Structure 1
Amino acid sequence: MPASTSRQPSTQPLAAAARAVLLALVATLTLFATRDAAQLWWIALLGVAGLPAVLAPQHRLLAPISRFAEVVVLGLAASQVAADTHLSGVTGGLGASAVLPYLAVPVTVTALSRRFREGAALLAVAAATLLASAAFTQVDGGPQLGQVGYLAVCAQWLILAGLGLYTAGTLQRVMRVRGEGKPQPYAEATRLLTQLRTVARQLPGATLDPGGISEHLLEELRVVAKTDRGAVLSASGGGRLVVLAQIGADRVDWETTLDADSAIADAWATQQPTVSARSQARSRHSGEVSALIVPLVAGVRTVGLVVIEADTAAAYPPPVVSRVTALTGPAALRLEAALLFDEVRSLATNEERQRLAREIHDGVAQELVMVGYGIDNALATVHEDAEETADSLRTLRQEVTRVITELRLSLFELRSEVDRHGGLAAAIAEYARTVGASGGLRVHLSLDESTARLPAATEAELLRIAQEAVTNARKHAGASNLWVTCEVDPPYTRIEVSDDGHGIGDQRPDGHYGLAIMAERAERIRGRLEIRPRQPSGTTVAVVLGSSPRRDKVRGSAAAAEGE
């Protein structure tokens, strides 16, 4: 309403001018068609009928009544003028055409005021008046309603008026979307983000971490239902699930494929709790098991699944299922908010990294390049007898070149992201190759990545840890070779970076600071950071996330074979 009211003053002069122009036009056309000045009294009556709409355009009763009076008078006038022109030997359709153009005035006014229903009603009243008046008007001994030419002209003008009403409505909607729609999403986003910030500060522990919320939910479920192992899974795209948190004596290789024939896939599709006598772990195939899979549904959308298992039969009767669903209902909303917040935070972080990269490239990097050019110019003008000055300038030039190289590598690191389609291993491999080549390192890659994906936030943290490890090896280790191993089989992941340098004990303080950052990142994603010497020389930095029973079994068999 406010927007409509604010635009109303600009339409009032336009409507009044349109009435005056159309009245003059139909008066001229009527006089030309009938050659009888007496017929102009219909035009005068039309002006009187529209006067209240001009004087009180916003009145709730007078304005609509005035417009309906206009179309009634217009219908009567069209019929009578058409009959008079027919008696004068002129086609009756010409007389109607002289008056009916005025129909555009009341219809257009309703369209400009966004009263589209009133406009449609005006067209209906005009059609009814034209038909009724023609039925009672006699022409050549019969009702005017039988005159094909008259009916054709009336239908033509009614259709044109209807098209005008439709076009005006479409233009109004387009203008509203263009004029008001653009800032609306930003205003709504601002409002929601402000509310989210306020709510986040009031949450227990002030956290919106999906992993933390998932772990808390599993601990709550352990109290109300027997749970030897359990997990919270969430969608990652590509028809697969990712493990947000899990509990139990052993880490489990859960079924994460939604297109498989499993209770997990059924629960996701039906949004109903599912009880199964089969384990949902791909690594477990024997023994008595009860599994309960409960979808986490927020509104109409499934945001995740809770899987709990007990090593006994029939561990989850209906009362237990009811107690579990009583906890998972509220948790679904908390988890959805955390996942959305995580996505917004990830987008904001990536955007900020890109912004910083642009600022550094366009600012400090360009300035350093200009300093290098200045040193080159100074070297070109140094006299031959000033060898000491020339050596100092060459040393300074080498240092500037080194800083520019470091800066470019920092820009590459800022811009590096895990591609949605390429995966974590590809991103780490690209970074290791680029940085290794710049540092004169021979890079050896061992990549083993399954089609399953980790949560996007976890992949981003693992990439940053790998980047820091590679950077430390290049800058501080004095190494010749770099070995990068990447094993990704969710929920298990192992990233290992080794070098043949002089070892971690001789690193500079900023290198130790980098190790502290890696430890913080690993803790954030509930991973384990391992730093150990490499034999015969060098350092190995590894981050391990979860565990893989299948891989542990393979390693155990290999170790046993070596022992024999």
Structure 2
Amino acid sequence: MLESGNPKTMGRAAAAGVVSSASTAYDPEEVFTALRTLRLGGTDTASRHLKLSPEAHAALPPAITAARWAAIAYGMIFGAQQAFGGSYSVVVSLTVCLFLTSWRSIIPTQLGAPDRGAQIVALIDVAIFGLGVGISAGPTSPFIFCFLVALAVPALGWGYRLGALGWCLGWTVTLMSTMAFGGDLGDAFLQEFLVMAIAAVLVVAGSAFVRSRLIESHERRLAMSGQMLALSEANDLLTMLNSVARTLPASLSQRDVLDNARQQLVNTFHNRVLCLFEYDDPSEEWVPKLSEGATVETAYRLHTLPAPLRRALESRGPCLVGDLRLGDTPGINRHSGSGLYTALVARGRTVGLLALEHPTPGQYSESDRIVLAGMADIVALTLDNARWFGRLRTLGAEEERVRIARDLHDRLGQWLTYISFELERYIDDHGPSDPQLEQLHGDVQTALDELRETLRQLRSTVTRERPFSEVAAEHIERFAERTGLEVEFTVEHPRSRLSVPVENELLRILQETLNNIDKHAQAGNVSVTWNVNGPTASLTVTDDGRGFDPSNGVRESAYGLVGMRERADVIGARISVDSAPDHGTTIHVEVGTTPARKEDTHAQNLVG
């Protein structure tokens, strides 16, 4: 089972969560906020429910407390004369304000608390301070600033709505208490009341505005921090991918591309196992192109791929296996502990599979998976470019063949012809007196015949006017005359043909096959069958020679099958070899769509 998590780690995290829940009611974020405020002067939790920066959390509660005591000091200074003059109302107001200020210094109001209780407490404070102010002449009371500070608290904690409610409640209590204790409600009182009411509105509005600005500033700061973190990670990833992008496409040779990819992957992921498989369309198999730290088969069908690679193929993206030793998903190397697996997708088509493994479980993390996703795109595109370049290079070799044929004819051919004519003239003038001279003349004629046949093969090409069947028939006729073999050529659908580039590649495969028969087969009879049926075609060459063992890789190289397979790959053809010692050899080439087995059809759907 593919998992990125570690059960032991998850268990420890769960246990830690239980302990945290049992020991404190604060969230971890609140604890971190409190710790950050230590350097700023304290851990007052009065503002912990507000989403503020650590600096604001550290400064706001002390500022409110300082404002409360400054208002008390102002009231004591300007109310002292009235108190000494026997004004009991001022003494009562001082007592009320002093007690509540002391109480709130010890147990501050929880600003922004979501429960109704904290909001009611803030409104009760406003009402009590309003009562105290109303007892001592209302808006002209020396303790009016204690009332204004109390009005600011609901606005700072909960915003405009509760601030407005506190303003209405506070001034209602102030007016009622002033009237109850016999205050003078004349024109002067009303004028002062209007001025202080406007000042209170400004205090409430300003406090609510400051609250909103502090919260917005913190949210922007958090967003900027998140963006900075994301940009930092993206910068690291882009730096790495830029290095990969500058290195991998430096060459269009598949060998160089694979070597550079291996180096980049090892330097980035420090893997001990690296396997890269390329999808071979004709055989519908996954062929290993890179293999380090593991023993792999020569080719894989879909159902024989290791389970993690099948998962990566189905998801068409990177898969992380945190612990390969758990469950039933062993890695490519049975000693591997963790792995990264991904499909290599280029131009909407899966061109390969990549596996990275390490002996240590949990070696790779989610960030490694993200990095691999970026690198996989570059590796896939570069690998596909190299593959297509190889095909184009093979197709483009036709022009080079014509140029070489022309140079051979103009230079070597003319020299050999000149030497042959001179030898004939010398023999005619002096008679056949020297057997070695006759032998030399025969060797020159043989070289000329070989050169002419080579030039014919180089110049033989399929065109719109000359289909494969016609060019192949001419070549087979010359081959039979030159070798003395009995060659039968059968064309089953003479009017049907494929595209010119495809038929040209098939002609080269036929030429190579016949050359191999002449050099190695020791055959007496050869049969060639050409069949075009709609979009599909097949070319079959059979001889009755000595044959060979196809399982012997050296023989495959000796018989030129490697070059023939490369040409078949250029046109998306499938080539098969059926041979046995002393039982001849059959080369069969199929072009176009052929029926696939059930699992092969599924593989085509995955890679298509």
With structure 2 as the length reference, what TM-score do the two structures score?
0.32
**Greater gyration radius:** 2
